[in-house]
Amino acid sequence: MTKLKLGPLTDDKPVKMSVELPAAVHRDLVAYAQVLGRTTGQTVPDPSKLIVPMIERFMATDRAFAKARRDRAAQVAGGSAEKSG
């Protein structure tokens, strides 16, 4: 069985967004949606529904981003502690 980075998609309220994609990326999204549908046993999702979970997964597994976010949070917390103290 194929091990994809995305699992079944949750049914969230959609948010309208306009994005221009290269044709090759769109073709890959369509192919990914087909494989995801077969793998999860769900109907094939609309390829545009894959974009948000892919971005979320990408950011969640980007160690440099996680470190930068932690460093920024510590900076902000340290700054407010200096102001109140």
Digits of tens for pLDDT over the chain (85 positions)? Answer: 677 777 787 777 877 778 899 999 999 999 999 999 999 998 888 998 899 899 999 989 988 888 888 888 898 888 765 555 5
- If one counts every other C-beta atom within 10 angstroms of the C-beta of residue 60, the result is 9
- Give Cβ neighbours of residue 36 (< 8 Å, ≥ 6 apart): 4, 6, 9, 42, 44, 45, 50
